[in-house]
Structure 1
Amino acid sequence: MELYRYHPKFDEFIQNYYLPDEQLHYSATPKKSIEVSKEDKDRHPVLGIDNNELVVFFILHENDGVRPYSGRENAVLLRSFSTNYKHQGQGYAKQSLQQLPDFMRVHLPHIDTIVLAVNVNNTAAQSLYKKSGYIDEGVRVEGAKGELIVMNYYL
């Protein structure tokens, strides 16, 4: 699997990406996220592609996007993180998180912290983030769908 910045050449992959309704509670679809990012240049869509299929998707959101979660000047918010339903449980989410620091050094070298906010009820995601080196420093914020745990990865 490799991480790529979004390009319209990947649109067919995005059309074939599926998340069940219960997962859409925690994450937006890639299609919707990309549409929003076209209007907001601080949002950088990232695609994890393996064997010519989109397996992981997320947004890296700078500036105003990360400010509600971190006061760090050179931080980015990891948001809308998901794994294509038919590829869940195959290690792609973990693999993408492991590759992300190197991806950041190439594509967003000014960033020194990756921040994410995960719903307190999404224990599977919390476990994945902890195993991937994200640190829960006790910061909590109220989100649209309940309390969120703010976690940081220092590059």
Structure 2
Amino acid sequence: MSVRDPYRHPVVILYRDTTVGFFVLHEGKNIASFTNNRNTMLIRAFSVNLIHQGKRCTKRAFHLLTAFVMKHFPNINEIVLAVNETNKLYEKSRFQDKGIRGMEKIGLPLILQRY
């Protein structure tokens, strides 16, 4: 749980006891612009260290994500992620484009969902 915001949960991605990435799971009413499902978790600030990119760390992290969320947040039944339209990595990780679009300063992100 984040000290300043109890609805944001920082997660470290480990590979062989080495920190390779990081993201934040965000829940609560402040993510309503991404979904109207009250039992949703939004992935924010997902990043993998450059030297570990291309080593399947992201794919493995997303593969484990559903079980992690179910264990630590049993009330959650949907995971969403806002990504740039050109990013196809997330669709390969079982996120689905349901045609929802958000509005961001940097462009029109896809809102991808996973159950």
Indicate the TM-score class for this superposition, using the shorter chain for normalisation.
over 0.9
Higher helix share: 1
Counterpart of 1:101 in structure 2: which amino acid?
T
Deviations 1:99-138 (A, max 9, x none): 0011011111110000111122xx2xx3111111111011
Q: 2:11–2:23: 8 Å Cα contact kept in structure 1?
A: yes
Query: Which residue does the alignment assign to 2:72?
Result: 107
Give structure 1 stretches of 5+ with no counterpart. Answer: 1-5, 7-36
Counterpart of 1:88 in structure 2: which amino acid?
Q
**Aligned counterpart for 2:41 among listed residues 69, 72, 76:** 76
- Could you tell me how far apart the structure 2 residues matched to 1:66 and 1:90 are? 31
- Give SS of 1:39's match: coil
Mark the CA change 1:119 to 1:105 in structure 2 (over 3 Å): closer, same or farther. same
Counterpart of 1:57 in structure 2: which amino acid?
F
- Could you tell me how far apart the structure 1 residues matched to 2:58 and 2:112 are? 16
- Give SS of 1:94's match: helix
- Could you tell me how far apart the structure 2 residues matched to 1:127 and 1:119 are? 9
**Aligned counterpart for 2:24 among listed residues 59, 62, 77:** 59
Q: Once the 2 structures are TM-superposed, how far is the Cα of residue 144 of structure 1 from its aligned partner?
A: 2.5
**Aligned counterpart for 2:13 among listed residues 48, 61, 65:** 48
Q: 1:66–1:115: 8 Å Cα contact kept in structure 2?
A: no
Segments ≥4 residues shifted beyond 2 Å: none
Query: Which residue does the alignment assign to 1:132?
Result: 93
Counterpart of 1:82 in structure 2: which amino acid?
S
Deviations 1:42-68 (A, max 9, x none): 000111112222112111000134211
Q: CA RMSD in A?
A: 1.3
Query: Which residue does the alignment assign to 1:144?
Result: 105
Q: 2:101–2:111: 8 Å Cα contact kept in structure 1?
A: yes
Matched, 1:98 2:40: no
Matched, 1:118 2:83: yes
Counterpart of 1:81 in structure 2: which amino acid?
F
- Give SS of 1:41's match: coil
- Give SS of 1:49's match: strand
Counterpart of 2:24 in structure 1: which amino acid?
I
